[in-house]
Amino acid sequence: MITSNDFKNGMTIKMDNNIYTIVDFQHVKPGKGSAFVRTKLKNLRTGATIDYTFNAGVKVETARIERKPMQFLYSMGDTYYFMNMNDYEQIELNKSSLGEDASYLKENLEVSIVFYEGEMLGVTLPDKVELKVVETEMAVKGNTTTGAMKDATLETGMVIKVPLFIEQGETILVSTKDGKYVSRA
């Protein structure tokens, strides 16, 4: 148990039978009345973000989450197979539990899988992923307007916008935060 005065960004707490991570917090001491802590919490099960206000000094239960380094092996249908990098144990996850993160997964990619008391809460991807461009249109000569972009299909099936100079067969860096082109690899 910790008090709301001990909150730090990234800390995980258990509240209302849900697991939350503290995204942001602010201690507020108004001129009149008692102090309170305004927080922004992210639900690790659903991914939803809520704003919640705690009175100062309120006790909250901490949640001990475990991050295991895993390597993505392969997918078969809607099932994705991962291997623990420490003990070589394999686990399988359904595409629905991965959500949009599935479109960034390619063989041998190292990720962290977050567990709470044996329950899988989510996958933490690296900030950027190297993916190969499988299909894209040729650039039209003379179309050099500032920031001109075209569609490109990547090896995982994901379609993103890339600059005109990117050609088929090139490897590019894609941000896992917003799914946008970063640079050539």
Give residue limits of the domains in the chain. Answer: 2-62, 66-124, 128-184
- Give the position of tokens 């992923």: 129
Contacts with 86 (C-beta within 8 Å, 6 or more apart), sequence order: 68, 69
The per-residue pLDDT for 114 is: 85
CA–CA dist 91, 60 (Å, integer): 32
The per-residue pLDDT for 50 is: 92
> Residue 34 pLDDT more than 70?
yes
| Sign of the alpha-carbon dihedral angle for 100, 47, 76, 109 | positive
Tell me which fold the domain 128-184 belongs to: OB fold (Dihydrolipoamide Acetyltransferase, E2P) (2.40.50)
Pairwise pLDDT comparison (140 vs 53), residue with the higher score:
53
- Give the position of tokens 């003379």: 142
- Partner residues linked to 124 by β-bridges: 112
> Residue 178 pLDDT more than 90?
no
- What is the token pair recorded at 82? 């991962």
Q: Going by DSSP bridges, is the β-strand pair 12-15/49-55 parallel, antiparallel, or unpaired?
A: unpaired
pLDDT 10s digits, 123-172: 888 888 888 998 888 766 666 666 778 888 988 888 988 888 888 888 99
The correct answer on CATH 2.40.50.140 for the domain covering 66-124 is yes
> Residue 52 pLDDT more than 70?
yes
pLDDT 10s digits, 68-85: 899 999 888 888 899 988
Contacts with 176 (C-beta within 8 Å, 6 or more apart), sequence order: 101, 104, 125, 126, 127, 128, 129
Are 66-124 and 128-184 equal in CATH topology?
Answer: yes
For 175, phi and psi rounded to 5 degrees?
A: -75, 130
Tell me which fold the domain 2-62 belongs to: SH3 type barrels. (2.30.30)
The per-residue pLDDT for 144 is: 62
Residue 67: how many CB atoms within 10 A of its CB? Answer: 12
pLDDT 10s digits, 6-30: 898 888 999 888 899 898 999 988 8
